[in-house]
Amino acid sequence: MAKCLAIADLFIDQEMMENGLALLEEKGITVEVKNWQHEDLEALQKDNITLEKQGSEAVDLSEELLAGIEEYDYIITQFAPIGKKVIDRAKNLKFIGVLRAGIENVNRSYAEEKGITVFNTPGRSETSVSEYAVGLMLSEIRNIARADRKLRNGEWEKYYPNGVLAPELKESVVGLVGYGAIGQKVANLVRPFGGKIIFFDDYFTGETPDTQVSLEELVRQADIISMHYRLTPETKNMLNKEHFKKMKSNAVVINSARSGLINEQDLIEALQTKEITGAAVDVFEQEPLPADHPYLTLENVTITPHIAGSTIGNFANSPKILAARMVNEYLPTSMSTN
């Protein structure tokens, strides 16, 4: 009987794993859940950031997690690293499943050299991140977060960086940089507000009611610019000072995707000089945000601690999505070749 090691963490716990992977048990796969132990979420996040920036070999798994790993045919992980050491010790490993879209914590190329299939979970964050991106748009252009902060400090303030009268989504041009699953979901959420939606995406070729433009045209036309591209060496700093110079003075920039998509220092300078009106940012080059970070001194930026994807539905549904994908796409193929 095939065996699967599922590595739980502080976001997807043992119960979520067991419930979510029940379909694999129904298919005759024995699922054992072990925990990647961390003292708290901050410690887990620290390891996650290290893996995102330095790759799957940057953090080692404990011997407790590695014990008996040669017995497993499948490994399913969210954040726990699966690097060369793990792959070499897992002699029977045929499949690695990652419970999110990003696979920075897995040495994919090495796994595939060994004939191991690597699956991720695309689309798991569609709802959580798209809803959050729209929330950031509304919070920034309508001054919701900063008005709350002012009022709590005893200030009855109605004048903000975008003036006394805030803009409406209905009258705005919303530019989406990236039009994949999340970008399209954002478009679907924004469209009923009545604004015009334009987007840039080198890879989109389908039908859409929205208008596809170049990145240069997007930054010139948009009142709100929201980032939804995958971070790769080619897309790093894809929004930088050259683009901020071309934006409208009333433009606001939203980033709930990856910090590296925007040159952070260039964005800070554009906000400091009021080259653009504002920004809302959930992702940062250094996390947690340092106490002396320039964002903390600016009135024209809304900042949140990397929580766009942090919903119950996002994490609890991930094992279910992956299990269904395994059953539908991988297991029939693997069984037919055995």
The residues annotated as belonging to the active site are: 258, 287, 306
CB 6 within 8 A of CB 17: yes
Q: What is the DSSP string of 187-236?
A: HHHHGGGT-EEEEE-TT--S--SSEE--HHHHHHH-SEEEE-PPP-TTTT
Q: Report in angstroms the alpha-carbon separations of 122 from 116, 127, 161, 173, 307.
A: 19, 12, 37, 28, 18
Tokens of 161: 């960086």
Q: Closest Cα to residue 278, out of 114, 145, 186, 170?
A: 145
Burial class (CB in 10 A: 0-12, 13-18, 19+), 251: buried
Dihedral sign, CA of 242, 278, 238, 240?
positive
- Give the gyration radius of the chain's Cα atoms: 22
Tokens of 58: 């940057």
Phi-psi sector, 318: left (phi>0), alpha (psi -120 to 50), beta:
alpha
CA 6 – CA 87 distance, rounded (Å)? 15
Tokens of 18: 């067991």
CA 49 – CA 53 distance, rounded (Å)? 6
Tokens of 227: 């980032």
Q: End-to-end distance of the chain based on CA atoms, in angstroms?
A: 13
Q: Closest Cα to residue 80, out of 101, 59, 109?
A: 59
